[in-house]
Amino acid sequence: MNQPHLTPLYDPYSHLVYAARAADVRHVMADDRWLLSDRRFTTLDWPALAASVRNQCRDLAAFCRQLRLRA
């Protein structure tokens, strides 16, 4: 709560909705399970997921290029 964009603090709930940023989040818990702990995902393998998304985007881009060449 010491960040410039969170100062001054009048209403903590309002700040969470309107002023806080994703980078301000360190921990997330839902349904009694930690989903994010010290800014690290606990329920998914982020490097594997990111690699999969990159590969799928590369495949999608190649597919779109092929469509453009056919048109």
Q: Distance between CA atoms of 21 and 19, rounded to whole angstroms?
A: 7
pLDDT digits (tens, 9 = 90+) for 11-53: 989 988 999 998 888 999 999 999 999 999 999 999 999 999 9
Domain ranges of the chain: 1-38, 44-71
pTM over 0.85: no
| pLDDT greater at residue 56 or residue 71 | 56
Dihedral over Cα of 22, 36, 33, 9: its sign: negative
Residue 46 contacts residue 54 (beta carbons within 8 Å): no
pLDDT band of residue 3 (cuts 50, 70, 90) is: confident
User: How far apart are alpha carbons 11 and 24 in whole angstroms?
Assistant: 16
Predicted confidence (pLDDT) at residue 69 exceeds the cutoff of 90: no
pLDDT at residue 68 in the model: 85
> In the prediction, which pLDDT does 2 show?
80
